[in-house]
């Protein structure tokens, strides 16, 4: 079962499907197979493949109202997928890679308490994404569209996104072109945009007003103006968007970016470190400001799906 990511088209999903089937046949696995893919520059990479269950299994089970662990155990004991389809344990057709356009969206957010992670010399671990396993748990945001589901996931994992206030933006050169539209949307929603000099110049050229703030490395100004790190620590910033500017010659994160992200962590201010995360956050903020987010049980969502797919009703059994 391959629940599709919302940014993937049918061609990419088919490539993932073919790669999954080839790996499964090559390994000879019966039951569950957990594969981590990465798609970059139109190249599909396989990071790892594990013939076992993972935390994704209960997530996908809840998202699709399908008892995957039960189905996998019965397949491992010799039953066929066709028999499980006939019984209603699995959907009558498909593999989860093709969902109807009105299917709800499930967002999985990893909980990574960076404020509890320290380096050997006692410093806070940088809040940038990497291959290390730092997640201490996961949450699910579930709703009719992505913005609402993402907002719920953020609220459950780290606290709600700010509905007003100041947004600080400092982007690596590679991200400055793609940041313009989401940052402009935040400005249109009434947020005050703060930025470092280079980022502010790009925003201004694209019609977005931004207040230039001092970098951490520049220190406080002669007029007492605080650096952006000082402003964050003083509670003057409500959202931080900072994509890493690479590393020093010694392989360490650039000091300014590290200090900015660390200050956000210490003050529990939402910190976004990718352009994709910024776009998702804007959708979440829009959904929250529309006051159109409610609560509904997974059973209710599954029954709504059953109205579209009568076979789904047989998969409920009150276990979700």
Supply the pLDDT for residue 286.
Answer: 96
Q: What is the CA radius of gyration of the chain?
A: 23
Supply the pLDDT for residue 184.
Answer: 97
- Parse the chain into domains and list their residue ranges: 10-99, 106-289
Beta-bridge mates of residue 118 = 124
Supply the pLDDT for residue 251.
Answer: 41
pTM above 0.85, yes or no: no
Would you say 203 and 169 are in contact if contact means Cβ atoms under 8 Å apart? Answer: yes
Non-local (6+) Cβ contacts of 310 within 8 A are none
Q: Which residues of the chain have pLDDT under 70?
A: 1-4, 113-135, 246-255, 305-320
CATH architecture of 106-289: 3-Layer(aba) Sandwich (3.40)
Per-residue model confidence as pLDDT tens digits over 257-281: 888 988 888 888 999 989 999 999 9
Supply the pLDDT for residue 158.
Answer: 82
Burial of 172 (C-beta count, 10 Å sphere; 0-12/13-18/19+): middle
Token couple for 317: 């059994």
Per-residue model confidence as pLDDT tens digits over 82-117: 999 999 898 888 887 777 777 888 999 888 766 555
Tell me, yes or no, if the two domains 10-99 and 106-289 fold the same way.
no
Spatial distance between the Cα atoms of 314 and 204, rounded to a whole number of angstroms? 56
Beta-bridge mates of residue 110 = 138
Supply the pLDDT for residue 2.
Answer: 46
Supply the pLDDT for residue 123.
Answer: 61
Spatial distance between the Cα atoms of 31 and 36, rounded to a whole number of angstroms? 17
Token couple for 86: 């006939």
Supply the pLDDT for residue 100.
Answer: 72
Query: May I ask the CATH class of domain 10-99?
Result: alpha beta
């Amino acid at each position: 079962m391959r629940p599709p990511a919302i940014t993937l088209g049918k061609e990419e999903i088919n490539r993932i499907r073919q790669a999954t089937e080839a790996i499964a046949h090559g390994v000879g696995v019966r039951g569950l197979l957990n594969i981590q893919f990465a798609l970059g520059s139109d190249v599909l990479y396989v990071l790892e493949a594990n013939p076992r269950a993972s935390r994704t299994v209960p997530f996908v089970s809840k998202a699709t109202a399908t008892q995957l662990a039960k189905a996998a155990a019965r397949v491992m004991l010799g039953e066929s997928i066709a028999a499980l389809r006939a019984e209603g344990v699995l959907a009558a057709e498909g593999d989860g890679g093709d969902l109807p356009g009105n299917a709800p969206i499930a967002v999985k957010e990893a909980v990574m308490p960076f404020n509890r992670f320290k380096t050997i010399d006692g410093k806070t671990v940088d809040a940038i994404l990497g291959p290390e396993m730092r997640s201490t748990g996961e949450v699910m945001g579930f709703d009719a569209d992505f913005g609402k589901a993402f907002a719920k996931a953020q609220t459950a994992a780290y606290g709600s996104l700010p509905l007003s206030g100041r947004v600080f933006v400092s982007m690596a050169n590679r991200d400055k072109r793609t940041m313009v539209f989401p940052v402009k949307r935040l400005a249109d929603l009434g947020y005050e945009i703060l930025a470092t000099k280079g980022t502010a110049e790009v925003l201004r050229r694209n019609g977005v007003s931004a207040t230039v703030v001092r970098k951490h490395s520049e220190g406080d100004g002669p007029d007492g103006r605080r650096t952006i790190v000082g402003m964050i620590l003083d509670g003057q910033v409500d959202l931080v968007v900072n994509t890493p500017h690479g590393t020093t010659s010694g392989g360490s994160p650039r000091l300014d970016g590290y200090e900015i992200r660390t200050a956000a962590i210490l003050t529990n201010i939402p910190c976004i470190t990718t352009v994709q995360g910024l776009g998702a956050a804007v959708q979440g903020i829009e959904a929250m400001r529309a006051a159109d987010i409610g609560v509904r049980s997974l059973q209710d969502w599954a029954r709504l799906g059953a109205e579209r797919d009568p076979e789904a009703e047989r998969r409920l059994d009150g276990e979700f």
